[in-house]
Amino acid sequence: MRIQLTSLMVDDQAKALKFYTDILEFVKKEDMPMGEFRWLTVVSPEDPEGPELVLEPTAFPPGKTFQKALFDAGIPATAFAVKDIDAVYERLDGLGVAFKAKPALAGPVSVAMFDDTCGNLIQLYQT
């Protein structure tokens, strides 16, 4: 058993795709029409055949409620591993990404958190 697909709720799929590819530098893998929405996934350029992140529309009302509750509580919806958190922070901050927490030690890891502009807080971590 392994994780190959995981999802993240987003309030606007087109905006999310732009942010996750242009800013975070993920690569679009799948983009198929699914009625009003799309089956839209991105992958890490470091592992294009690795796990896919589905940019899932928040069309289901409880999903919107859950997403907002996490955001309002300051809880990240997901976390991404980075090799050099300070360099990633500097690059993203330079692109105007709104950080809620700058890189800081949290036990044995360094973490930072930002707003993905699509309704989520995302944590970065470096071990």
pLDDT 10s digits, 57-103 = 999 999 999 999 999 999 999 999 999 999 999 999 999 999 999 99
Nearest to 54 by CA among 13, 18, 102: 13
List the domain range (segments joined by +) for residue 101.
5-126
CATH code of 27's domain: 3.10.180.10
Q: CA dihedral defined by 64, 69, 72, 76, rounded to 10 degrees?
A: -90
Please count the structural domains in the chain: 1
Total-model pTM: 0.95
CB-based contact 107:9 (threshold 8 Å): no
pLDDT level of residue 105 (50, 70, 90 thresholds): very high
